[in-house]
Amino acid sequence: MHYRWMVLPFAGLLGLAQAAPLTFNAALDLAEHGSPDLSAQSATIAAAKSSAVAAGALPDPKLFFGVDNLPVNGPDSWSTSRDFMTMQKIGLMQDVPNGDKRRAQRLEAAAGIDEARGRRNIELIRIRRDTALAWINRYYVEQRLALFDELDRENRTLLEAVRAQIASNRGQPADIITPKQEAAQLADRRDDLVRDLAKARAELGRLIGHEADEPLAGEPPQLDIDPDRLHRHLHHHPDLAIFDSLTRKAQAEEREAEATKESDWGVAVAYQRRGPLYSDMVSVQLTFDLPIFPETRQDPRIAAKKEEIARISDEKAAMLRDHIAELENDLADYAATSRQLDRMKDTWLPLSREKYVLRLDSYRAGKGEIEEVVNARNEWIEQRLKAIDLENRKEQAAAKLRFAYGEDMP
């Protein structure tokens, strides 16, 4: 019992130590090291490496045994020892594919490893990008929720101003309803944000696990966007790089198909035992494939592999065009959102706040109506919420550009 009372406080401190706030970079690390999808891709790489060990190796030898020249009628029928031609035999047979075919198989296996690595890089980009977007989205949902605390305080200030006007006989008794209606509307919108926060936390949890329940720490990173660098990096994007390994794999398959025009060969060695009155024998034989009908067998396979190489090349060109268009669209969105956010901070927010303050001062002086104050305040609220949305859109656009086009994947 004494030992238990000593351990419990330290266990509690350990739990607190493990529950660390979730920074942006910590979320990326958790997503990268805890992703089942990436683990599956790593297993695919390991499988491809294991398969490559046997690529180009000789097939297993064959053991054979049997009886030659067994009589089926006459006085020696079914005897394995009385007829001088009857032999019991056992031997080994080895097939030997030609060297070009085996070299092509090794090249195909190496390209398969590169393809598996490329697909893991594609998955890694997707996971890091999605995690970055999910973290940023949750961050700005929380920023919107934090703003509502300030809006509640402003609404209480408005309520106090209305009460003061009514007390001084400069306001209508019905004016007291308006701030209460505003409070109810803010509560409804807060509930929507609480729902959005739960969804944002769930999306982040899908990518990093239960650590998504921890509070966020820090701010979104300042991501520099260099359009020229992004355009240069585009041609090395894993979505495009994987087509190189696919091309090498198809070329190796084409070489293997061409190698089928060359003969494979085999060797067989047998020991043959005869009856006690006759000597035993040894036989050796060689076999060769005869590819004498290439028009209907080898050539169609070779043509199919050439078409496969052409298809991969065309798909890479189409993918490049898609990425160029997507990059241009994302850069345009980022530039437009950046300008709108600057305009919001420099123009819209100061003007809407000034308008609200002037309307409130006029109302307090008995020169305005409560509806004018409420309209001005709602406009200021919307501008502040829009400013947060613009920051979210800008950061998400920057993260998408950075993690989809600007990272040098291994």
Matching residue, tokens 């998504």: 212
pLDDT digits (tens, 9 = 90+) for 319-347: 999 999 999 999 999 999 999 999 999 99
Shared domain check, 225 and 168: yes
3-state secondary structure 175-218: HHHHHHHHHHHHHHHHHHHHHHHHHHHHHHHHHHCHHHHCCECC
135/231 same-domain check? yes
Return all residues near 150 (Cβ < 8 A) that are at least 6 apart.
Answer: none
> Positive or negative CA dihedral for 287, 289, 292, 296?
positive
In a domain, 1, yes or no: no
Higher pLDDT, 373 or 214: 214
User: What are phi and psi for residue 32, nearest 5 degrees?
Assistant: -75, -40
Residue 84 near residue 45 (C-beta atoms within 8 A) = no
Distance CA(208)–CA(94), nearest Å, equals 53
Distance CA 157, CA 163 (A): 10
φ, ψ for residue 331, nearest 5 deg: -65, -40
CA distance 363 to 384: 23
* Residues 183 and 283 occupy one common structural domain: no
Q: 367 with 248, same domain?
A: yes
Q: Give the pLDDT confidence score for residue 19 in this predicted structure.
A: 56
221 with 280, same domain: the answer is no
Is residue 16 one of the residues assigned to a domain? no
84: three-class secondary structure by DSSP: coil
Per-residue pLDDT tens over the stretch 225-258: 999 999 988 888 999 999 999 999 999 999 999 9
DSSP lists the bridge partners of residue 266 as 95, 287
- Tell me what the mean pLDDT of segment 337-365 comes to: 92
Q: Count the alpha carbons within 13 Å of 295 in the hemisphere toward its beta carbon.
A: 0
Question: Do 70 and 122 lie in a common domain?
Answer: no
Packing angle, helices 24-34 and 177-208, rounded to 10: 40
User: Does residue 324 form part of some domain?
Assistant: yes
**Would 5 be classed as within a structural domain?**
no
Q: Is residue 356 classed as helix, strand or coil in its secondary structure?
A: helix
Rounded CA gap, 123 and 38, in Å? 7
Instruction: Quote the tokens at residue 205.
Output: 């949890």
**Cβ count near 340 (within 10 Å):** 16
Both 366 and 390 in a single domain? yes
* CA atoms in the 13 A half-sphere facing the CB of 371: 1
**How sure is the predictor about 53, in pLDDT bands with cuts at 50, 70 and 90?**
very high
Q: What is the mean pLDDT of residues 35-56?
A: 94
Residue 92 covered by a domain:
yes
Residue 13: inside a domain, yes or no?
no
Same domain for 344 and 370?
A: yes
Task: Read off the pLDDT of residues 198-227 as tens digits, 9 standing for 90 and up.
Answer: 999 999 999 999 999 999 999 999 888 999
299: left (phi over 0), alpha (psi -120 to 50) or beta: alpha
Which carries the bigger pLDDT value, residue 366 or residue 93? 93
**Largest distance between two CA atoms of the chain:** 140
pLDDT of residue 60: 95
Residue 236 lies in a domain: yes
* Domain hosting residue 134, numbered range: 22-58+98-260+297-406
pLDDT digits (tens, 9 = 90+) for 60-109: 999 999 999 999 998 888 888 888 899 999 999 999 999 999 999 999 99
Q: What is the pLDDT of residue 171?
A: 66
The burial class, CB within 10 Å (0-12 / 13-18 / 19+), for 162 is buried
Q: What is the pLDDT of residues 99-152, one digit of tens each?
A: 999 999 999 999 999 999 999 999 999 999 999 999 999 999 999 999 988 888
Overall average pLDDT of the 275-297 stretch: 92
- Same domain for 134 and 273, yes or no, is no
| DSSP 8-state secondary structure symbol assigned to residue 22 | B
Whether residues 135 and 248 share a domain: the answer is yes
List the one residue out of 185, 175, 191, 227 whose CA is nearest residue 397: 227
Highest mean pLDDT among 8-22, 37-51, 180-194, 395-409: 37-51
230 and 279 housed in the same domain: no
- What's the number of domains the chain is made of? 2
Confidence (pTM): 0.83
Residue 148 lies inside a defined structural domain of this protein: yes
Asked whether residue 175 carries a pLDDT value surpassing 80, the answer given is no
DSSP state of 174: G
Q: Who wins on pLDDT, 396 or 163? A: 396
What's the CA gap between 377 and 10, in Å, rounded? 51
DSSP calls for 148-172 = HHHHHHHHHHHHHHHHHHHHTT-S-
Give yes or no: residues 235 and 314 share one domain. yes
In this structure, what CATH number is given to the domain that contains residue 241? Answer: 1.20.1600.10
**pLDDT tier at 370 (50, 70, 90 boundaries)?**
confident
pLDDT at 9: 44
Residue 14, pLDDT > 70, answer: no
